[in-house]
Copies of this chain bind each other. A is one copy, B any other.
């Protein structure tokens, strides 16, 4: 196996994420997939560089001149996307090499994931890449995104206008992280970079972690892996990068059956799960358990400060959720806090019996007409308690808009004073109210989680990472 990146200088990936000139080679017909979509999406997202469509059957498209070959483009090209039949790829890559292109995203499928013949073809393009010094992402990839630079060469139509820049880098061997597969737009979910490795014939998670290590947009790295190519390098790079930013990993092929399925998906070699687990522990990488977690859990790192300890405050509208939260907290190394006597007194002066380990707003909510007026006092009392490192806050939306505005107002005030890690879970009788409050709170920098379990796990991971970091610093 050729470890290309060992002979390539650092940041060889900047051609992918910060290209000035992009060539789009291949399929240009109308539809929800292809080069035409790439070009439209780049333009819509304010890509300020040059775009060169390449296809011998066209003369002009969207007002852009179309070139018969990449070699005809009258300027240097930083990045190409190749969206053609698999057999055309080697020839096109060679032309790119002659042209001096140093980065290629091979969207085309039909390589190692398909059959023997495809595997051979994949080997061939790896050779060509090495020969010409072209870094290759893919094949069989939906590509990358760098919204802060308007670089969104997505081959599938998005269904929404823009991708919001943010702190989470999402990377993996799947197009499921790309913007056509997840409602980033509707959720106001901000990403720093997206990178689908596809079959991972060249650019891999280690290259990417190294690139992201220095990327100032990225606050947290979330990785989906099916296998790793070079265990030692993975451990070295992972260990180094996680000192700067947390790395969260979901790995498939945990079971024997899953490992078998892996090899037919991206042709990845499976790693025994126990070994991989050991590697992650040693390198300080945080493992995830479900696909949803890949999107949800990074939010705690991109939005909130790290907790200084593992003592968890719980404010809820219902005792049952509090109990479930305690169970989960224990699972993830958090400790339900023992509030100081002062806080207990303060809470109980706000409403009788409120000063308990689980602060349950259910009773005052049912009893007081204007319960929401005591809510900010309660949150403030808990957050300023020296025994509280992080807070799980459960909000019932209520049946109408009125409540939402109050909650947003309260969180806006909270933002001014709060230094602790807050994870929120929102529930209620209307989907639209849940969505609206979620969106609003996240705009304020307070992540809202889809399940109570994910909220608690996010706090648990943040607390765990915080311990690792402090240990490093000593």
A residues apposed to B, CB below 8 Å: 29, 31-33, 107, 109-110, 113-115, 155-160, 172-176, 179-187, 224, 226, 252-258, 260-262, 264-266, 290-292, 318-324, 326-327, 329-331, 335-336, 353, 356-358, 360, 362-363, 365-366, 369, 396, 398-400, 427-435, 450-453
Q: Which of B107, B159, B257, B453 contacts A327 (CB 8 A)?
A: B257
Given contacts A109-B366, A175-B318, contact A358 B264 (CB under 8 A): yes
Given the complex of chains A and B, what is the CA–CA distance between A376 and B433 in angstroms? Answer: 36
A321 near B429 with CB under 8 A, answer no
Given the complex of chains A and B, what is the CA–CA distance between A330 and B259 in angstroms? Answer: 11
Q: Which residue of B lies closest to A402 (CB)?
A: B32
Question: Apart from A159-B433, A172-B320, A186-B432, what 19 extra A-B contacts exist at CB < 8 Å?
Answer: A29-B369, A107-B366, A109-B366, A114-B363, A157-B400, A159-B398, A180-B396, A180-B428, A181-B318, A181-B429, A183-B428, A183-B430, A184-B429, A185-B429, A185-B430, A186-B430, A254-B327, A257-B329, A258-B327
24 example contacts (A-B, Cβ-Cβ < 8 A) are as follows: A32-B399, A33-B365, A114-B363, A155-B366, A159-B398, A159-B430, A174-B318, A175-B362, A176-B321, A180-B396, A182-B427, A183-B429, A185-B430, A253-B327, A255-B326, A255-B331, A256-B330, A257-B329, A261-B336, A261-B357, A264-B356, A265-B322, A292-B450, A431-B435
B contact residues around A365 at 8 Å (CB): 33
B contact residues around A255 at 8 Å (CB): 326-327, 330-331
Given contacts A187-B431, A290-B453, contact A176 B318 (CB under 8 A): yes
B contact residues around A261 at 8 Å (CB): 322-323, 326, 336, 357-358
Shortest CB-to-CB span from A427 to chain B, Å, is 6
Q: Which of B252, B292, B329 contacts A323 (CB 8 A)?
A: B252
Q: Which residue of B lies closest to A429 (CB)?
A: B159
A291 near B453 with CB under 8 A, answer yes
B contact residues around A181 at 8 Å (CB): 318, 396, 427-429
B contact residues around A322 at 8 Å (CB): 261, 265
5 nearest A-B residue pairs (beta carbon):
A174-B320, A159-B399, A265-B319, A258-B327, A255-B330
Q: Which of B114, B157, B429 contacts A180 (CB 8 A)?
A: B429
Q: Which residue of B lies closest to A178 (CB)?
A: B429
Q: Which residue of B lies closest to A154 (CB)?
A: B429
Given contacts A159-B428, A261-B358, A431-B435, contact A319 B182 (CB under 8 A): no
B291 near A353 with CB under 8 A, answer no
Given the complex of chains A and B, what is the CA–CA distance between A185 and B450 in angstroms? Answer: 19
B contact residues around A396 at 8 Å (CB): 180-181
B362 near A157 with CB under 8 A, answer no
B contact residues around A369 at 8 Å (CB): 29, 31
Given contacts A114-B353, A429-B182, contact A323 B258 (CB under 8 A): yes
Given the complex of chains A and B, what is the CA–CA distance between A356 and B256 in angstroms? Answer: 17
Q: Which residue of B lies closest to A258 (CB)?
A: B327
Candidate in A172, A184, A331 with the most chain B CB atoms within 10 angstroms:
A331
A115 near B324 with CB under 8 A, answer no
B contact residues around A433 at 8 Å (CB): 159
B contact residues around A321 at 8 Å (CB): 174, 176, 291
B358 near A399 with CB under 8 A, answer no
Q: Which of B33, B335, B363, B400 contacts A109 (CB 8 A)?
A: B363
Given the complex of chains A and B, what is the CA–CA distance between A253 and B369 in angstroms? Answer: 32
Given the complex of chains A and B, what is the CA–CA distance between A183 and B320 in angstroms? Answer: 18
B contact residues around A331 at 8 Å (CB): 255
A265 near B430 with CB under 8 A, answer no
Given the complex of chains A and B, what is the CA–CA distance between A400 and B159 in angstroms? Answer: 7
B contact residues around A264 at 8 Å (CB): 319, 356-358
Q: Which of B33, B157, B176, B184 contacts A427 (CB 8 A)?
A: B176
Given the complex of chains A and B, what is the CA–CA distance between A110 and B364 in angstroms? Answer: 11
Shortest CB-to-CB span from A179 to chain B, Å, is 6
Shortest CB-to-CB span from A105 to chain B, Å, is 14
Given the complex of chains A and B, what is the CA–CA distance between A181 and B155 in angstroms? Answer: 40
Q: Which of B186, B265, B326 contacts A431 (CB 8 A)?
A: B186
Q: Which residue of B lies closest to A34 (CB)?
A: B366
B contact residues around A252 at 8 Å (CB): 320, 323-324, 327
B254 near A183 with CB under 8 A, answer no
A265 near B327 with CB under 8 A, answer no
